[in-house]
C-alpha cells in the first residue's frame, strides 16, 4: 500500500511550501497552522473552477491584515503528496489576499504533524 506520510522541507525563509491539489487541480500551498481553514483568494478559486459566490456562505473573516469578507465552502478533495482528504472546509477571500493558498487546520488538523529539524512530517491518523 502507498505510504500515507508526506515530508515537507522548510525553505530558506523558514516556511513550509508544498505542491498539492484541490478537486484534482494543482496548486501550491503555504502550510499555515494559524489558519483555521484552507484559504484561497478569488483568483485561486477562479483558476480551480470553484464558484465560491454561488456555492459558499458569505462570512466575515478576521485575518492578519484585518477584517474582510469571504465565502465558506467545502472542497470535494484536497491532496498533498499521497494524502488525500475529502469534504474539507475552506474559505475564499473575495480579494487578491492571501497571495499564497494557505493549507490550514481544516486539512492539517486531520493529520498527525511532526516538525523535526526543518522537516514537517504529515501522517494520516488512521
What DSSP designation does 37 have? Answer: S
- Look over the chain and give the mean of its residue pLDDT values, rounded to a whole number: 93
> Is the pTM above the cut of 0.85?
yes
**pLDDT tens per residue, range 37-51:** 999 999 999 999 999
φ/ψ of 82, rounded to 5, equals -90, 5
In this prediction, residue 2 carries a pLDDT of: 57
Decide if pLDDT at 4 tops 90.
no
Decide if pLDDT at 64 tops 80.
no
What DSSP designation does 106 have? Answer: H
Question: Which band of pLDDT confidence, cut at 50, 70 and 90, is reported for residue 14?
Answer: very high
Amino acid at each position: 500500500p502507498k505510504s500515507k506520510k508526506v515530508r515537507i522541507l522548510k525553505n530558506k525563509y523558514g516556511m513550509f511550501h508544498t505542491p498539492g491539489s484541490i478537486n484534482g487541480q494543482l496548486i501550491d500551498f503555504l502550510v499555515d497552522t494559524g489558519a483555521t481553514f484552507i484559504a484561497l483568494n478569488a483568483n485561486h478559486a477562479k483558476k480551480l473552477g470553484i464558484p465560491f459566490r454561488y456555492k459558499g456562505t458569505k462570512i466575515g473573516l478576521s485575518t492578519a491584515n484585518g477584517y474582510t469578507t469571504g465565502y465558506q465552502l467545502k472542497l470535494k478533495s484536497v491532496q498533498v503528496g499521497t494524502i488525500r482528504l475529502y469534504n474539507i472546509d475552506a474559505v475564499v477571500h473575495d480579494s487578491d489576499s492571501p497571495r499564497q493558498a494557505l493549507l490550514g487546520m481544516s486539512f492539517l488538523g486531520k493529520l498527525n504533524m511532526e516538525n523535526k529539524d526543518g522537516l514537517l512530517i504529515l501522517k494520516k491518523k488512521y
